[in-house]
Amino acid sequence: EYKLVHPNDHVNMAQSTNDTIHVAIHIAAVGETCGRLFPAIENLQGSLELKAKEFDHIIKCGRTHLQDAVPIRLGQEFSGYAAMIANDRKRIEYALDGLKELVIGGTAVGTGLNAPKGYKTYVIRYINEKSGHDFRSAANMFEAMQSFDAVVFYAGALRSLITGLKKVADDIRLLGSGPLTGFNELQLPAVQPGSSIMPGKVNPVMAEMLNMICSHAMGNDACIIHAAQGGQLELNVMMPVIAYNLIQEIQILAGGMNALADNCIKGLKANEEICRQYAEKSTALATALNPIIGYHHAAKLAQQAFKENRTVRELAMEQKVADKAALDNALDLRRMTESPE
């Protein structure tokens, strides 16, 4: 009976779709970030940190430009991955604060027409009680009504996370390549039978899954940016597509991180002997001899080692470029991976 409760005269008296949908997007994004994304980040970061400790003693060949470089510990590589994810969380936390500004009470264009005095204060207090978050009224209702800059800024932080996740996935695929004609420094857990035609083949499907999610999420991001540019005068009518892509992006990233952590990272094993062999064979070990014999002589030694398929250590000992104690110290692989600071 509309005489008792009218949808426009009563229910919608102090609000408009122009402010309430905007507010709903912010509330949903904050809720999904805190409820899904942050726990997934913690899961992945924690898994990477555990592997960093487990692999800390394993010395391997570092690579720059995909070419052999000086030694690094496998644990150090994984500590870098964990730190990337941790830093991305900090960026997201910083950007999330902007989504806690709500334009509720702005009604149609930000002026608050038809909203009673105290309305937005009461509504935000109620939202905070129900959600457990600390939303607040927008500092400028007109900026908040017209603009989706807070969402774009937040999406930019997600983009940083996507970039880090793709790096981790790509590195795991590369380090696990082989097993006989690739790097084969990592053994990835077999989570499915493998190739449909080649028996016994184990594919890096979890890393590939995350790669696809990153591609999808970048598509979400592109749509958000494009739609956020669609605001004209007092309103951006692209709110539904922004909402759809923002929430989907958060959800698929959370699911992808959990899947990678639980079905790949936690089950990773290192091929320690192969890692050591590659480290010993790297001609870049000649770099450690620069302070002793100079760059030019060290370069010649590295070139000879490559040409004759021998190690820098062998040639340095054979040519007696320094006494054995000095060479043993300079070519100590563990020492090379430890910072002098």
What pLDDT score was predicted for residue 275? 98
CA Rg, the chain, in Å? Answer: 28
What pLDDT score was predicted for residue 194? 75
Strands (E), 18-97: 59-64, 67-73
Residues 43 and 146 in one domain: yes
- The answer to the question of residue 2 being in a domain is no
Provide φ and ψ at 270, rounded to 5°. -105, 140
Instruction: Indicate which CATH number applies to the domain containing 38.
Output: 1.20.200.10
What pLDDT score was predicted for residue 310? 96
Residues 194 and 326 in one domain: no
Is the confidence at residue 193, as pLDDT, over 80?
no
What pLDDT score was predicted for residue 13? 81
Residues 291 and 191 in one domain: no
Predicted TM-score (pTM) of this structure: 0.94
- The answer to the question of residue 228 being in a domain is yes
Residues 185 and 209 in one domain: yes
* Number of structural domains found in the chain: 2
DSSP state of 103: -
What pLDDT score was predicted for residue 75? 98
As annotated, the active-site residues are 65, 195
- Domain containing residue 315: 282-336
Instruction: Indicate which CATH number applies to the domain containing 305.
Output: 1.10.40
> What does the DSSP assignment read for 245-284?
HHHHHHHHHHHHHHHHHHHTGGG-EE-HHHHHHHHHH-GG
- The answer to the question of residue 341 being in a domain is no
Residues 187 and 312 in one domain: no
What pLDDT score was predicted for residue 54? 98
Q: Tens of pLDDT along 89-138?
A: 999 999 999 999 999 999 999 999 989 999 999 999 999 999 999 999 99
